[in-house]
Amino acid sequence: MKRSLSILAAFLGLTAAATPSFGAKLDVLYTFAGYFPQKDGQGPAAGVVADAQGNLYGTTFEGGANNDGTVFKLTPDGTETVLYSFAGTKDGRNPAGALVMDEDGNLFGTTGNGGGNGCTRSGCGTIFKIAPGGTETVLYSFKGTGDGAHPSSLLMDGAGNLFGVTNQGGAGCAGNGCGVVFEFTSAGKLKTLYTFSGGDDGSNPDARLIADASGNLYGTASAGGAFGQGVVFQLSPAGVESVLYAFAGGTDGSRPFSGLLMGKKGALFGTTDAGGGSGCGGSGCGVVYRLDSDGTETILHAFDGDDGQGPTADLISDARGNLYGSAEMGGTNNDGLLFRLTPKGKFSVLHEFCSAPECSDGRLPEIVGGMIADGQGRLYGTAFAGGNDNAAGIVFRIKE
């Protein structure tokens, strides 16, 4: 998310070719209007969640009544409703993480900014709840000190406790903090479970956590580690952190911005934003990797730019073990793409995005938190920009 905001202006002026067909059909379910004020929202950075009726729910980083972001609902017939527009003050601003939904239909999420006067007065972010009727409750406002600053996507357990990371805050890292792992309990208390030092333990985590049956948490930190290129970590229920893998920044990848997917026998799957080769200006275009329980990393695919660049979204899998994800950039149009990787290592591009007038299906599919799938094997996600001349982003569905 943070990277896209800085590169967005540079990419909006590019002229792209028409998108070729890859045997998968992409439907644009909704295109955000993108004129000021962008009341329907602008810049959906995260993926969506769905209810039993097939309604989709998500966030936009900007837009809404105050241009500070929204929480929206999209019905199966394509009708969008803004459930909440952030005001940019104590209620938060710039939601960039994926939402989670409880059994009562309440939505829980975070804002990267707002919530108070800390963090150079922009606010350090919030945890919020949106009731089915659209009422927002700020559950917690980060202070930017020991509790962290700038939270990302949440994980909810069966008891309603929320777990997450902050990109900054805590101790170290020249006073800004290197980030923390936190728990927000169902009783309304925030606990700091771990504070990153910025050394071998990693720093600046960005992605959603996952958990195993024993209550261990797993995640990635985009920087730090033995080589300064990020780590995969485990955090025990007692708060003990173990670095499962430290990226070296070469063919093994670097900068893991995405979260993890747990497979059979405890194997972890993920992506890195860079590394994997010498392409993309020498820093590498990113990789898909598997990390076995003994700490052995296997590169399943190294991107070369033509087949994508910068895979930052969480992976998902189907019953056959195929992995699905997105690359934020790259492809024929340099607008990003969706891909599939089979258990035997066959890589396929499912769809290349195109922001040119003849296609206008969106661009920059960051999809923080990853895509979701329905019972018919259709995938749902977002693209941060494109879709019209105002480049406000889309919600899509794709089916092979």
Say what the alpha-carbon torsion angle 297, 373, 1, 209 is, to the nearest 10 degrees.
-50
Q: pLDDT for 364-384, tens place per residue?
A: 999 999 999 999 999 999 999
**Residue among 146, 138, 210 at smallest CA distance from 172:** 146
Number of H-type helices and E-type strands within the chain: 1, 29
128-141: average pLDDT: 97
DSSP string, 109-133: EEESB-SSSTTTTT---EEEEE-TT
What pTM was computed for the model? 0.92
Q: pLDDT for 31-51, tens place per residue?
A: 998 766 668 999 999 999 999
CA 91/CA 113 separation, integer angstroms: 10
Task: Collect all residues with Cβ–Cβ distance below 8 Å to 168 and sequence separation of at least 6.
Answer: 119, 144, 148, 149, 150, 176, 177, 178, 179, 204
Full domain range(s) for residue 144: 2-399
CA dihedral sign, ordered 211, 215, 218, 221: positive
| pLDDT beyond 60 at 9 | no
CA 46/CA 10 separation, integer angstroms: 21
Q: What are phi and psi of 268, to 5 degrees?
A: -110, 140
| pLDDT beyond 80 at 389 | no
- Quick one: DSSP state of residue 354? -
- Token pair for 41: 């929202």
Identity (one letter) of the amino acid at 308? G
| pLDDT beyond 60 at 11 | no
Instruction: Give pLDDT, residue 2.
Output: 37
Q: Give the angle 100-4-171 at the CA atoms, nearest 5°.
A: 70
CATH number for the domain including 275? Answer: 2.130.10.10
| pLDDT beyond 70 at 13 | no
| pLDDT beyond 80 at 7 | no
Instruction: Return contacts of 34-37, CB within 8 angstroms, 24+ apart.
Output: 34/63, 34/387, 34/388, 34/390, 34/391, 34/392, 34/393, 35/390, 36/67, 37/63, 37/64, 37/65, 37/66, 37/67
Residue 320, CA atoms < 13 Å, CB-side half-sphere: 9
The lowest-confidence range among 113-127, 179-193, 227-241, 278-292 is 113-127
Give Cα separations from 218 to 100, 198, 208, 209 (angstroms).
18, 18, 9, 6
Instruction: Give pLDDT, residue 208.
Output: 97
Instruction: Give pLDDT, residue 4.
Output: 35
- Total domains in the fold of the chain: 1
Q: pLDDT for 166-207, tens place per residue?
A: 999 998 787 789 999 999 999 999 999 999 999 999 999 999
